């Protein structure tokens, strides 16, 4: 069982384990500069400005940036629960184009955990509309072993 979510865990994990992260590092010059905040229900949220430097097609946020935001906000949700884990499986649904120049809200919540496996959901919201959603399985990192789950184990959750 993981600890109660708290902002200290979120900030400490981020600084210790992701100092140069392309999604959240404050010192990496090419970082997306995502700054998640903990919500009372244990979810995390961040505002992302959707600058033109992150567009793919003209006026539209690049799909790879969309994927990175969804994956990153879910990782931070785990950090808030004092869990370090890597993405084992990520499924994204691109519902509508995300406009450049209009901020969006990235939000993630933990659905359930079973041993080292954590299931999360995330969404990107712009102008009150859900633009993209994701579900993911994260595998908790074991400091002294390199354990992994098989495809069969991942599929059964």
pLDDT of 91 over the 70 cut = yes
Query: Higher model confidence: residue 144 or residue 63?
Result: 63
Query: Which has more pLDDT, 63 or 149?
Result: 63
pLDDT for res 153:
52
Does a structural domain hold residue 53?
yes
Nearest-angstrom CA–CA distance, 15 and 18? 6
Residue 2 lies inside a defined structural domain of this protein: no
Confirm whether 63 is domain-assigned: yes
Residue 13 has pLDDT above 90, yes or no: no
What backbone phi and psi angles, to 5 degrees, belong to 109? -140, 150
Q: Is residue 97 part of a domain?
A: yes
Average pLDDT of the chain is: 86
Q: What is the tens place of the pLDDT at every residue in 93-137?
A: 999 999 999 999 999 999 999 999 999 999 999 999 999 999 999
User: CA-CA distance, 20 to 17, in Å (whole number)?
Assistant: 9
- The band of 88, judged by pLDDT with boundaries at 50, 70 and 90, is very high
Q: Rounded CA gap, 138 and 151, in Å?
A: 13
pLDDT digits (tens, 9 = 90+) for 73-83: 999 999 888 89
Whether 1 maps to a domain, the answer reads no
pLDDT of residue 34: 86
**What is the per-residue pLDDT for 27?**
81
Residue 14 inside a domain? The answer is yes
Q: Give the residue with greater pLDDT, 142 vs 112.
A: 112
Non-local CB neighbours of 82 within 8 Å, separated by 6+ positions: 2, 3, 6, 9, 13
Q: CA-CA distance, 78 to 65, in Å (whole number)? A: 20
| Cα separation values, 67 from 4, 136, 138, 145, Å | 27, 11, 15, 29
User: Which residues, including other chains, have CB under 8 Å from residue 57's CB and lie 6 or more apart?
Assistant: none
At residue 144, the pLDDT reads 45
Give the pLDDT confidence score for residue 157 in this predicted structure.
57
Q: Provide the H-helix boundaries in the chain.
A: 7-17, 63-80, 151-155
The reply to whether 121 falls in a domain is yes
- By the 8 A CB rule, do 75 and 85 touch? yes
- Any idea what the CATH number is for the domain that residue 58 is in? 3.10.129.10
- The total domain count for the chain is 1
Domain hosting 106: range is: 7-155
pLDDT in tens, 33-83: 888 999 999 999 999 999 999 999 999 999 999 999 999 999 999 988 889
């Amino acid at each position: 069982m993981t600890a109660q979510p708290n902002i200290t865990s979120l900030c400490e994990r981020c600084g210790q384990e992701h100092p140069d992260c392309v999604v959240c590092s404050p010192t990496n010059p090419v970082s997306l500069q995502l700054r998640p905040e903990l919500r009372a229900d244990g979810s995390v949220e961040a505002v992302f400005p959707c600058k033109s430097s992150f567009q793919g097609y003209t006026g539209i946020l690049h799909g790879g940036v969309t994927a990175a935001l969804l994956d990153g906000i879910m990782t931070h949700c785990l950090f808030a629960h004092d869990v370090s884990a890597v993405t084992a499986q990520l499924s994204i649904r691109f519902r509508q184009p995300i406009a450049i120049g209009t901020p969006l809200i990235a939000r993630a919540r933990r659905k359930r955990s079973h041993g080292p496996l954590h299931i999360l959901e995330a969404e990107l919201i712009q102008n009150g509309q859900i633009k993209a959603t994701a579900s993911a399985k994260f595998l908790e990192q074991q400091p002294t072993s390199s354990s992994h789950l098989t495809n069969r184990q991942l599929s059964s959750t």
